[in-house]
Structure 1
């Protein structure tokens, strides 16, 4: 797979050099990043267009049915649990996780690269979520809110941030050379955390299920995009002449 990527990048570099009559090995990297950003912007616009088509009675019935089912389980213990989980997907939760990640990188991994990459993924997801909320302009559900919210509804910022940040952590965990059972168990636990954060937003009455689904999709797009860009950067740093 990596050899195939190298061949593709080398072909792109040759083509770009011929087109622009340039020998700068950084040119393909710069253009690749620009093209990737254009693709993301185009993807966001497509996401918004598709979201507009979801404003149907069918979706409203789906949202209501799923919400009613989830909130039917409300009880003091579950409410405490989901408030805790939703806090993990908020600013304070990310700061705590990042501090732990920094300590882990300092003492064990001996590299700050993955910390910086994780921050980049989270910041991109957060900024794009703010833009999407303003474009879509969907109000929060009219049911009782168990936590205070001040922003718009679609897509869920908690779901999008959780998928982007913790999803990227799953990718990093998959690269660790540790016991396989421990590695996969850790990946499953993080995946369950992502799912729990999404469910918590419905349970607490502050998001429609479609908000959470949209947040997960958008967050996953950022994970894939960032992994692609980071890998391309790594390839060009190792061998600028690929």
Structure 2
């Protein structure tokens, strides 16, 4: 019996050795792909659990306490700032940023792939948000709204689209071969913009904090999933054996 076990272990080691030798150039990608898949699965699990607990007392207290704290900072200057930020995270804001980014991709980076990828991410985020809102059907907070809203509440479309769109831009800029200092500054600014868009919706009274969390999680799932798929296509298209 021991000899059989040792033989199986030896055969397994030989198999792994052949696989690693054959796919040595793709091993880093395979490892990152596994991590990405785990992040997507984990993100979906967290989103589902959050959604299932929307009507619980604990989450209700969290929403109330967080909203009250953020509203305590309301003043004319912050209100003007957050109205501007929330408009950046709306249709016309994305249209302007989308056009500017695509012009940069075409004129500076000479790559149409980034245009297509960013378009896909944006469409997926927007369409899936509409579907999720209708399925979950959560009403807006019964608070003073500082801006006009007409859609349902969960998950926040602003938060979800901001995380998906600007989050994917962060991923692209991380991959770009540009000055490290410029890259770092851009990533920090985009991260701050995502956070500001999310907070603006709570500050303006049109979303519960849990709406923002749900939107961020759903948007993050799209970033990781799309990055995984686009990289999968890019890597294996270059392989002459596939």
Q: TM-score range by the shorter chain?
A: 0.7 to 0.9
Larger CA deviation: 100-109 vs 169-178: 100-109
Q: Is the 8 A contact 1:156 1:215 kept in 2?
A: yes
Give a deviation string over 1:150-178, Cα, whole Å, max 9, x none.
11000000000000000000001101112
1:1-242 correspondence runs (5 A)? 3-4=26-27, 47-48=47-48, 50-239=50-239, 241-242=241-242
Would the alpha carbon gap of residues 2 and 129 (structure 1) be closer, same or farther in structure 2, given more than 3 Å must change?
A: farther
CA distance in 2, matches of 1:6, 1:148: 45
Tell me the distance in 1 between the aligned counterparts of 2:76 and 2:47.
Answer: 37
Task: Name the SS of the counterpart of 2:108 in structure 1.
Answer: helix
3-state SS in 2 of match to 1:222: helix
Unaligned runs of 5+ in 2: 1-23, 32-36
Output the CA distance in 2 between the equivalents of 1:46 and 1:68: 25
For the residues of structure 2 that align with 1:44 and 1:6, how far apart are their CA atoms? 22
The CA RMSD measured in Å over matched residues stands at 2.4
When normalised by structure 2's length, the TM-score is 0.81
Q: For 2:144, what is the secondary structure of its paired residue?
A: coil
Q: Deviations along 1:118-168, whole A, 9 cap, x unmatched? A: 110011011111111111111000000011111100000000000000000
State how many pairs are aligned: 213
Which residue of 1 is the match for residue 9 of structure 2? none
1:207 Cα offset (Å): 0.2
State the TM-score, normalizing by the size of structure 1: 0.81
Question: Which sections of structure 1, spanning at least 5 residues, go unmatched?
Answer: 9-35
Distance 1:180 1:216, change over 3 A: same
Question: Relative to 1, partners in 2 of residues 1:166 and 1:6: Cα closer, same or farther, differing over 3 Å?
Answer: closer
Q: Which region of structure 1 is more displaced relative to structure 2, 99-108 or 71-80?
A: 99-108
